[in-house]
Amino acid sequence: MRRALWLGLITGFVYFVGTVYWTSTVLAVFGGMPMILAIVAMMLLAAYLAIYPAITAMVMARLISQGGRTALFFLPAAWIATEYLRGFFFGGFPWVPFGNSQVTMLAVAQVASVFGVYGLSALVAFVNAAIAFALLSTGRSRVIAGAATVALLVGVAAWGSWRVAEGSLTREGTVLRVGLIQGNVAQTDKLNPTPQSMRRIFTSYLAMTRDAVRRGAEYVIWPESSTPFTFGRDAVGEAALRDLAREVGVPILFGSDQIVAEPELRQYNAAFLLGPNGETQAVYRKIHLVPFGEFIPLQEWLTFVAPLVKRYLPFDAGDEVVLLPVNGHPTSTAICYEVVFPSLMRDAVLMGSQLLTTVTNDGWYGTSSAPYQHFEMASMRAIEEGRYMARSANTGISGVVDPYGRVVQASAIFEQVGLVAEVRLLTGRTIYSQIGDVIAYVGMALTLIALVVVRPRAKNVAHSSKPRA
């Protein structure tokens, strides 16, 4: 068990340092931390996340020690049990789950429409467990394990290829042309604005919106925190934005902080929808806040993040999904990081959302892999829910993904561009949208049952000297 714990921690540490390394740059550049301290903070985050693979390794060591190599096939259940729980504790951090590795393998990725990303994680874990089983086996057992795994993958790929080729979801529903505005505003300009830079940013968004509507956009989406002022606290800026909506005659979704004074002072990361008449149609407040970015988990113990705490006011979390009415159709949005939570998108679809959107500012992450990871996790939500996903990002990647995970149109990072792409407003439901993360619950149940049923072997004892009958 001790060996399994250390192997799991080492494996998990490598896994997460290799995928969330960019958090150190964010903390150093924008959090005011010395780089060495930022690297330590990143490594502590990776070490915490590594606990989950370590628990999986310990569970598997316990089962394999009693059940032999056959117990390897409990790996999918144990893996997704801990991976699912990673999305809950301390605000949740379900970044780069196993299953998301398959999002560009469209034939395989269609499994998400049935079992979600955790179903894909289970598939990846099963294939690896089967390979390990085959390597530890000989003769017939090895052949059966290899053949069964190949048959499973061929079956999954064949069904997934057929689903993508059939493509009925790209022919159904009402067509809507969406304009995605990527302002490419430098993060330094957003953090340290001057009157001149604020005016330049705002006029740029106004001009790009008019251009997108001239090119046929029927719904325009700006990124997270796109207004260089707090909407509702700047009368001039608010009036100009409402006038723009009336001028172009299309709904506009944009991100801005929202400050509420009553019954107590609260600050939200919000998305506002203005109708063609310039009136506010809906306001969505971000539910899943970014740890160490918008709130500090365990703040009383993590004193080394004091520079970050002082630099940013903590946000309050919203408490409900809000539907955004667009041309008579219910749609929804997610703000930045919360698009990585499958359940949030599912809640929106259960409420009737016909189009998934997300607004974000990935300018924090520079040219690291973070913007690409983030875009691909948003793409997975499209497959799970059988909906188009439209994404507007300040510095990219902005784009549209169809219900099968195919990228319809996408921008490069760090370019100023306005995309206009066609989406469809859909009402059908995937199996996953109906059953949710049942496979994760099954994984947790199977793991607990296995741990209870498989009892530790009795220790060897010396034979009694008493002669046997």
Q: Which amino acid is at 218?
A: E
Could you give the CA distance from residue 184 to residue 176 in angstroms, rounded to a whole number?
Answer: 25
Could you give the CA distance from residue 38 to residue 329 in angstroms, rounded to a whole number?
Answer: 45
**C-beta of residue 192 within 8 angstroms of C-beta of residue 399:** no
Look at the alpha carbons of 185, 186, 189, 191 in this order and tell me if their dihedral is positive or negative.
positive
Look at the alpha carbons of 288, 276, 421, 397 in this order and tell me if their dihedral is positive or negative.
negative
For residue 420, which of 173, 250, 279, 243 has the smallest C-alpha distance?
A: 250
Sheet strands (E) in 229-367: 252-260, 266-274, 280-285, 324-326, 329-335, 356-360
- Tokens 């969505």 map to which residue? 284
**C-beta of residue 401 within 8 angstroms of C-beta of residue 382:** yes
Residue 446 CB-half CA count within 13 A:
19
Beta partners for 258? 268
For residue 432, which of 337, 356, 342 has the smallest C-alpha distance?
A: 342
- Tokens 């032999």 map to which residue? 68
For residue 56, which of 442, 443, 439 has the smallest C-alpha distance?
A: 443
The set of catalytic residues is 224, 286, 336
Helices 75-85, 112-135: axis angle to 10 degrees equals 130
Look at the alpha carbons of 8, 10, 13, 14 in this order and tell me if their dihedral is positive or negative.
negative
Q: Token digits for 449?
A: 């049952």
Could you give the CA distance from residue 84 to residue 441 in angstroms, rounded to a whole number?
Answer: 9
Sheet strands (E) in 201-309: 219-221, 252-260, 266-274, 280-285
Look at the alpha carbons of 129, 131, 137, 143 in this order and tell me if their dihedral is positive or negative.
positive
Q: How far is CA 348 from CA 232, 240, 354, 391, 429, in A?
A: 26, 31, 9, 16, 12
Q: Token digits for 285?
A: 């407040």
**C-beta of residue 67 within 8 angstroms of C-beta of residue 454:** yes
Cis peptide before 397 (omega within 30 of 0): yes
Could you give the CA distance from residue 336 to residue 315 in angstroms, rounded to a whole number?
Answer: 14
